Each structure stands twice: as C-alpha cells, then as structure tokens.
C-alpha cells in the first residue's frame, strides 16, 4: 500500500519529468529515449496506484452497502417489536 509520502514522491517525479521534457532538444535522441523510458516507468507506477485506489473504493462501497442493509434490517426488527 502506498503512503501519502510515496504519492507525493510520484507527483514530484512527474513535475521533474515535465521540466526535463521542456528542456530536451528535439534532436537529442538519447535524451528523448531516456525521457520516454522514465515517463513509461512513472506511468506504470501511477496506473498501479490508480488500480489500488479503485480497489479500495470498491471495497469501501461494499462496506457502506452492507452497513446500510444492516441498519435497515435493524430498523425493521425494532418496528416489528413495537408492533408497527
């Protein structure tokens, strides 16, 4: 699981890559290849983090649904006990 500090590092790397991309000369193929490799690596890391967050959100949604169902069930049991 990534921490907030690790997420911040990814954003800092993204900002650095943006600055580096702005400074790369179009005719410097070696530097362009290195930049593309760095961008690909960062993209993969960001995609993994997105997938992890998506999974976490799905789990939270399931929990909320279960809690809501439990609450409704408890309300109906209380209503039956009161004779409503």
- 9: closest CA among 47, 48, 46, 55? 46
Report the predicted TM-score, pTM, of the whole model to 2 decimal places. 0.69
CA distance 66 to 59: 11
Distance between terminal CA atoms of the chain? 48
Domain ranges of the chain: 4-83
**pLDDT at position 29:** 94
**pLDDT at position 65:** 95
Cα atoms found within 13 Å of the Cα of residue 7, Cβ hemisphere only: 10
**Which one-letter DSSP state was computed for residue 37?**
H
Exposure string of 20-52, with b = 16+ CB inside 10 Å and e = fewer, is eeeeeeeeeeeeeeebeeebeebeebeeeeeee
Q: What is the pLDDT along the chain (84 residues), one digit of tens a residue?
A: 557 888 889 889 999 999 999 999 989 999 999 999 999 999 999 999 999 999 999 999 999 999 999 998 888 877 777 775
């Amino acid at each position: 699981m990534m921490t907030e500090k690790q997420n911040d590092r990814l954003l800092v790397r993204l900002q650095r890559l943006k600055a580096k991309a702005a400074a790369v000369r179009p005719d410097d193929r070696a530097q362009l290849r290195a930049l593309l490799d760095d961008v690909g690596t960062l993209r993969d890391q960001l995609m993994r983090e997105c997938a992890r967050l998506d999974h976490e959100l799905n789990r939270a949604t399931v929990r909320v649904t279960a809690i809501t169902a439990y609450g409704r069930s408890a309300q109906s049991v209380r209503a039956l006990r009161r004779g409503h």
